Amino acid sequence: MNDPVENAKRLAAYQAVDNHVVDGVIGIGSGSTVVYAVERLAQRVKDEGLEVICVPSSFQAKQLIIQYGLKLGDLEMNPELKVTIDGADESDTMLTLIKGGGGCLTQEKILASCAEEFIVIADYRKASTNLGEQWRKGIPIEVIPGAYRVVYQKIEKLLGGKSELRMSGSSKAGPVVTDNGNFLLDWNFEGVKDWKHVENCLNMIPGVVENGLFVGMARKAYFGMSDGTVMERNI
């Protein structure tokens, strides 16, 4: 693989699966790096006879699990997970994450919260010292459609910054709709120091379903680097 970014994603995903997946129920996140995690998981099931049930965070993750012939589960039957492996749009040095660029943040946060271990996989472009250095699209916030205007006004009043309703591409008019049938706001923040306070503030606003700040949830992250190594961050 000649593409350094894709190679970095694969390196991080493979190392995480090799180091953290044992027999049991596994949460499968969403996004491009997770594709490689599922690829490696399927290899290990075939080669080692690993016994896993995979719980997806999104329609995309469900399709991946089916495509690779892995056992599909859900949280109703499997509410406790050994590990959840997922990507991130950005991570700071404390493993505070921004997630939800792909719109699956609510299910992703639920899966992360159900796991004994929440492991992040990403390429080198996602590793920052402080949030906002690399990811410039803001904090994704899933909102009830009828409340989006009220919510973004309250966010700006409470926390400053600017919020925008995420719109679909040119081929489809109108807002992006999540797997839950909701809208997404992207909040561009300014000078935040206390991310836990921000996370709590956002989730206290009526009409907010969930936000894309993952504070104190990840315990380890693997970042594939451009030179073919993998950088690890631990909390």
Active site residues: 108
Helix (H) or strand (E) holding 24: strand 24-28
Distance CA 188, CA 193 (A): 14
For 140-182, give the DSSP string: EEEE-GGGHHHHHHHHHHHH-SEEEEPBP-TTS-SB---TTS-
Distance CA 76, CA 114 (A): 12
DSSP state, residue 70: P
The answer for residues whose C-beta is within 8 angstroms of residue 177's C-beta and 6 or more apart is 183
List 121's β-bridge partners, or say none: 222
